[in-house]
Each structure stands twice: as structure tokens, then as C-alpha cells.
Structure 1
Amino acid sequence: MRRRRSMAGAGLAAAVALGALAGCTMSSAAQAREADLRAREHVATAARLSDEGLLDEAIAELQLAIQANPELTTAHVNLGELYRVQGDFPSAERSYREAVRLEPRSFDAQYGHGLVLHLMGRLADAVAAYLRALAIDGEDFNANLNLATAYLQEGRARQALPYAEKAVALNPESGPARVNLGAVYATLGDHERAIRAYQAAAELMDLTPPLLLNLANSLGQTGRYQEMVNTLGQLLRVEPSAEAYERLGFAYFRLNRIEDAAAAFRNAVAMDDRHYPALNGLGVCLLNRFLLSDRTDAEARREGVDALRRSLRINRDQPRIVDLVSRYG
């Protein structure tokens, strides 16, 4: 009997122990729920602070959210976004990478990670992240647009084309999407389509220097040199640059306006004395002047050869320029 009572007591003790364990489990679950609630409150506060422009304070709130619940994907995504806005791309990349680890099927995590990788110049990694994002939501405009841009920057215009076209289809009123599509067409050598894309973009957005320069180049590739001159004139009124003046010199030269071409090339060199295409253009114009003078304008020959030699000091790998210098030098 005594042994039986002892066993009964042991059973009671075990029951008490199990009850205590169950109580601990419930307490842990309740604590987890409370921590998650606190984390979400920090996320909400961070959103409000971010809307007010208080980014440092918003970041601090998101860090508290992650301390409370390290597995709250939204907190990592939002933190990555704020770091990106502040220009702290390495911190943003770490936050998005953790969000992707926690929730690989999160479009926001995959796309945000791709965007930051893109901004960091890690093009191959950005392409992979954009593709993962599009596998989740293939109809997202920004992911299609940025993937096309990344492919184009990698020199893979053929791969960029379907995504650039999809971006325009998703948002026909986007000027940047049409500029991007035009750049893809131009890289593929389809300048007629590129011109149409650029002209459509010009009706939807401000005439930015990249748009005008791209349009001018495609006009030149199709032999529409006067239109190229007109477009570059618009560009130079907006933002003078050595490249724009050099392109203007090229267009004038093709129109056989040699003196206007020489003046444009001089302007390019004045803005950037290491712009060797402009030095080449100037040298060729001056050698043309020398030839048109029945080879009597020695000053034009001397100055032209000097411009070509300066170009070769910048870039030696120019066989045609080497040939001109050897003939007229």
C-alpha cells in the first residue's frame, strides 16, 4: 500500500509538471503574439514617420520592429526601401536579402532587392532578382521596365526587347518606357522604330537631353541629317555638351556644310579637350579645307594634322586616323 501511495504521488507530481509545461507553452505563444503585435505597431509608426519625411526616426522604428519579430518580412522590406531612399545601398541590399530569405515569394522583397542591386551596378544579380519578381507578378510595369534596362546595360538588347515592349504595353502613357524601347530598337539597328518610339516619348514627357540625343543619333543613322541638326539645336538650348556639339558637327559635315561642322567641332573641343571624336571631326574638316584650296592652305593642313595627333594621344587604336596623319603629316 505504501508503495502504491508513492506511485500515486509520483503521478500527481507528473501531472503538475505537465500542467506547468503546458502553461509555459501557452505563455510563449502569447509572448510571440504580443511581440508580433509590437513589431507591427513599430512598422505602422515607421510608415507615418516616413510620410512626414522623418526617415532616420522611421528607420529606428523598423529596427525596433525587427528586434521584436526578426521574421516580419514587411519590416525588412520597408527598412530596405528607406535605406535605398537615403542612398545607403549596401544596408538596403542586406535588408532586402533578408526579406527574400524569409519570404522568397514576396514580390516586394524580390523587386526591391533587384532595384538595389541594379543601383549598385551588380547587373547580373539584378537581372536574376527581377526575373524572380516577374515570376511572381509578370504584369508589373516597373519590373519589366527595369529588367529591360538592365539587359540593355549588359549589352543584351535582344533579351531586353520583350520586356521593353511589355512595359510600353502595360503603360502606354509612360514616356520613359518609350525612350527605353527606342534605345533597345536603336541598339538592335532598327532606327526607324527607334525614331517612332522617341517621337512618341516626346509627346508624353519633357524633352530631356538623353531623349533628344538618342533621337538625333537615330535620325543620323537613317540619313535625316537636317532633322538631326534641328533636334540637336533643341538639345543645345537645353543642355550644351561636347557630345551634342560633336554630333552637330557630324550632321553639318554630312550636309556638306564644312565650315559649320568645323565650328561645332571646335565648340565640342572647347568644352572637353579630350573628346577625341570631336578632334577627329575638326581635323577632317581642316584637311578638307586644305584640299579645297588646291593644297595651298598650309595652316589648315597643319592645324588639322595637329588635331588628329591630339586625338591619337588620347586613343591610339584608330587606324583610319593613323592613315590620315601619315598621308598629311
Structure 2
Amino acid sequence: MKEKPVPENHHPEDLPQGAPSRRDLVTDRQVAILVNQGARLLEAGRAREALPFLEEAYRVAPEAVAVCINLGGAYILLGRHREAVPILEAAAEREPENPMVWVNLAAAYLGNPVLATSEQQERAIGALLRSVDLNPATPNAYYNLGLIYKDRGEWDRAAEAFAWAVKVDPRDRDALAWLKRAEAMRDATAGGEAL
């Protein structure tokens, strides 16, 4: 199909506002291809291979929340939590009602769970609570809350979070196992016993 030439007296200001240009459409399609390729690699456990696709998508479209979530996720999987934080915080500002932004931001805030400080844990808890406030069925949000509470020795809260995780996904064997352990620890510490 041949494009009509733009008349010489036609100025860019005369174009309808908000209409995507051909260049924008091509760029959007390229970004979608890059994100899809990166997401497939992430799902396959190949974060290092996904990174170039996602970084290129971010270079072209840093405002795209799907790009930010996937790139942030890749950085988290590669242990580059500090790099993920500003990307995911910007995504949270753009789409504060997106529960997956908050789940990923929680992981970025937490960093390595074994080395996490109390402040990192509190920031992660805040992000996860925001996620479940938005959508109680957000995948892994309650489970991750339970793990943080477990690490803090807050067995009542851990048991409650794992119970919600099991309610969200009754087939989650890990959540069920942690629920039983957290309940046992809660009951033992309530009676003055230490396991």
C-alpha cells in the first residue's frame, strides 16, 4: 500500500493529538517482541540470556510497566536487587494498582533473604501487603510474606500468611508444609517451649 504524501503546507502541529505515528507502532511492536522473548527466557530459568532483550526494551520504552516488571525480575534473579529497585519503583508510580509490580518490588527491596536487614524486610512486607490489598489472589505474595515473617521469628504472622497462601493455591505443597511448621513453632513458643 502506498502512503499519501503530506502536503507541503501541512505542519506536524496539525496532526491529531494522541494518534500513534507509524514509527511509534513499529517501536511498540519491537518492544513487545523483545519483552516476549525476554519473558520466555525468564520462564525457562535463563535470566542471563533474557537480560539483553529486556535491557534493549527498557532503553526504547522505559515507561512501559511490562518492560519494567520483566527487567526488574531478571535483575532480581541475577542477584542485582539494587538495580531492580529504581526501575520497579518507577513502575509502581506509573501503575500503583498493579499487584505484580509490588510483588517484584518486594523481592527487590528484600534482596538476599538470608542477609536482609530489618529495614529491608519491613519495606518488602509493605510492598507485599500493598499487593494483597490490591488482589488477595496475587501469586506468591502471601507465601513470600510468610517466609519473611518466619525469618523474623514472627510465627503468628507467618502462620496466618501461609494459611492465606494455601487458601489462594490449595495445591501449594511448600506453603502447606510451612503452614504446619509455623503453626507448630507458634504453639511451641506460646507455651514457652523452643524447638
Which TM-score tier does this pair reach, normalised by the shorter chain? 0.7 to 0.9
| Matching of residue 100 in structure 1 with residue 100 in structure 2 | no
- Tell me the residue number matched to 2:149: 151
Normalised by the size of structure 1, how large is the TM-score? 0.47
- Give, as a single letter, the amino acid of the residue that structure 2 aligns with 1:83: Y
The Cα of 1:72 is off from its aligned counterpart by 0.8
Normalised by the size of structure 2, how large is the TM-score? 0.74
Q: Deviations over 1:11-63 (max 9, x none)?
A: xxxxx97x414346669830433332222122123234546665444212212
- Give, as a single letter, the amino acid of the residue that structure 2 aligns with 1:92: A
- Give, as a single letter, the amino acid of the residue that structure 1 aligns with 2:105: H
Q: Deviations over 1:151-188 (max 9, x none)?
A: 23233333333222122233344332133223322332
- Tell me the residue number matched to 2:65: 73
Range 130-139 or range 59-68, more displaced: 59-68
Separation of aligned partners in 2, 1:88 and 1:129 = 18
| Matching of residue 183 in structure 1 with residue 181 in structure 2 | yes
Normalized per residue, which structure has more helix?
A: 1
Relative distance call for 1:35 and 1:123 in structure 2 (3 A) is same
The Cα of 1:106 is off from its aligned counterpart by 1.4
- Tell me the residue number matched to 2:163: 165
Partner SS for 2:187:
coil
Relative distance call for 1:138 and 1:32 in structure 2 (3 A) is same
Relative distance call for 1:168 and 1:27 in structure 2 (3 A) is closer
CA contact (8 A) 1:161 1:184 kept: yes
**Structure 1 unpaired stretches of 5+:** 1-15, 192-220, 223-246, 248-329
Q: Deviations over 1:274-315 (max 9, x none)?
A: xxxxxxxxxxxxxxxxxxxxxxxxxxxxxxxxxxxxxxxxxx
Range 153-162 or range 116-125, more displaced: 153-162
- Tell me the residue number matched to 1:59: 51
The percent of aligned pairs where both chains have the same amino acid is: 21
Separation of aligned partners in 1, 2:169 and 2:82 = 31
Partner SS for 2:140:
helix
Q: Deviations over 1:219-276 (max 9, x none)?
A: xx69xxxxxxxxxxxxxxxxxxxxxxxx9xxxxxxxxxxxxxxxxxxxxxxxxxxxxx
Name the Cα RMSD after superposition: 3.1
| Aligned residues between the structures | 179
Separation of aligned partners in 1, 2:109 and 2:63 = 22
Which of 106, 131, 134 lines up with 1:133 in the alignment?
131
The Cα of 1:147 is off from its aligned counterpart by 0.9
Separation of aligned partners in 2, 1:86 and 1:96 = 15
The Cα of 1:116 is off from its aligned counterpart by 2.8
